[in-house]
Chain A
C-alpha cells in the first residue's frame, strides 16, 4: 500500500513537471505552470519521506533548512544582471547532489554492484563531477573572478581529449570490475579536472553554449541517478532537463553557426583563433556623432529598432533604454527590440533584462521576426552589440563569423551605435557596419550616453 502510494506520488510529480514545462510555451501560462512544477516537487518529496529506508529525520531536516536558508535569499536578492552567474552556479549544486548520491551508492555497495548499476553510477559520477567544476568555472568567469577571455595553451584540445578518453576508459573498466575503488575515486577526480579544463578555453561570447551544455549534463547526471536507484521520477526529470539543455545548446550553436559536433567536442577555442583572421580596417574612417544630433534623429524617427547586446548588460543600461523608448513614443514614434539568440551570456539574457526594465514582451522580437522590418526602420540603435550585427557574416567568406545569422541593422535608414571605444568585439573581428556611411557612432558608456540622450530629447 505504501509502495503504491510512493509510486503514485512519483507519477503525479512527473506529469506535473511536464505540464510545468508545457506552461512555458507562453508568458501567460508560465507562472501557473511553474506552480504546478513546485507542487510536483513537494509531492515527490513527501512520497520519498514515506520510504521505509528512511528512519531518521534530523539530518534531512537540517539539510532542508540550510538549503532553503541559502537558496531563498539568493532568489530574492540576486539582481537580474547577475542571472547568468546564478544559472551557472545552480548547475553546480544540482550536479553536486547527484554526484554525492552516486558516491554514496558506490561507497556502500562497491564490488557488489551489478554491471548495469555500475554503469549508471559511473555515468552519474563522471557527468556530475565534470559539471560541478565546469559550472563553477563558468560562474567564476561570468563573475569575473577569473579572466573572461579564453585561456589557451599548446596541445590543449589533444590533452583534453586524452584525459576525457582515459576517464571514459576507467568507467568502462569499472563496469567489468566494480570492486576497484581507487579507480572509481580517480575517475571522480578526473571528472573534476575535465570540468575545469573544458571551460578554460571558452570566451565570454561562447558562454550561452556552455551554460546550455552544462544544463544538459546536470540533467543527464540526474537521469543516471534515476537508473542507479531505479527511480522513475529521477529518470524522467533528468531526461527533461537533459533534453532542454541539449535543445538549447543546438539552438545556441546554430545561432553562432557552429556545428554541434564542434560544440560537443569542446573545440570552443575558435574565438581565439578567429582573432588573428578577419578583415583589418585600415584606411576606413568612422563617423562619430554627438548626443544632440543623435537625439534629433531619434526624435523624428517613426520606427526605432533597438539592438541590445552584452554591452547593455555590462553597463546595466536597460532602464535608460526604456526611458529613451518612452521619449520616442511620446513623439508618436514606435520602438521595437531586436533580440539575437546569442546576445549576452546565456540564452534569453536580453529578454530578462528588458522585461526587468518594464518593457512589454510583445515588443521583444526574435531575429526571424524583426529582420524584415529593418528596411522600414528610420533608426537602428545598436547598444553594446557587435558581432551579431556584423555584415561580414553575410558577405565576407574569409571572415571567421561568415554564415552566422545576424540582425540586419545595416538595412535601416540610419544606424546609431553606442560604443565604449573602437576596440573590436569579442571575436576580435572588425565590424564593417561601423564604417558604413549610414552609421554614426556615439562613444561612451552606454548608460551615460543614454541618460544624456534622454535629457536632450526631453528638452528638445
Chain B
C-alpha cells in the first residue's frame, strides 16, 4: 500500500504542512554523525601518537593508517596536530604533510590500536592497521614508498584542528601517513579521529 503525505494546513489541528514546493515541514534534532555513530554503533576511534620529540630539519613519518576492512570505508572526521614551536625559540614552524598511498613501514615502527570514543566499549579498531613511530633514530618510520603528498600545512605553536567531517575517505586497502619537518628540534603530537562505515 502506498502512502502519500498530503498537506493538512487548515484541514485539522495536527495535520502536517506541505508547502508549494512539496516539502513536508518537520522539526528535528540534528545530531552529528560522530556522536550518532559512537552512540549507536560504538565505532568511532581516535589514533594518537602521544607526545614525541622530533629533530629539526628532518622529515619524520610519525603515523600510518590502512583500512583492512573489505566491507567498510574509513571516514576521517578530524586531524589534530600539536607543536610546541621548537624547544629553543617557541616560534618556529613545522611543515606537516599527509601522504596517500604510503607503504607499510618496515622499520622504526610500533603497532597500536585506536581508542574507542565510547568509553568502556569492547569494540576495537582492529580492521584499521595502525603504526606510529617508535622514536628510534631521527627520521621516523621507514617506508619503502613514501606515497604522494595529499595535503600540507605550515603550523606554528599550539593545537591545530583540520575538520574533514567524514569527507576524507580511506577505502579498503588504501593507506595514509602523516609526517612533519620541523624548523628546529621540538615536540609534536598528532591525533586522527574517524569511524568505519559499511559499503
Chain B associates with chain A? no
Question: Residues of B with Cβ closer than 8 Å to A?
Answer: none
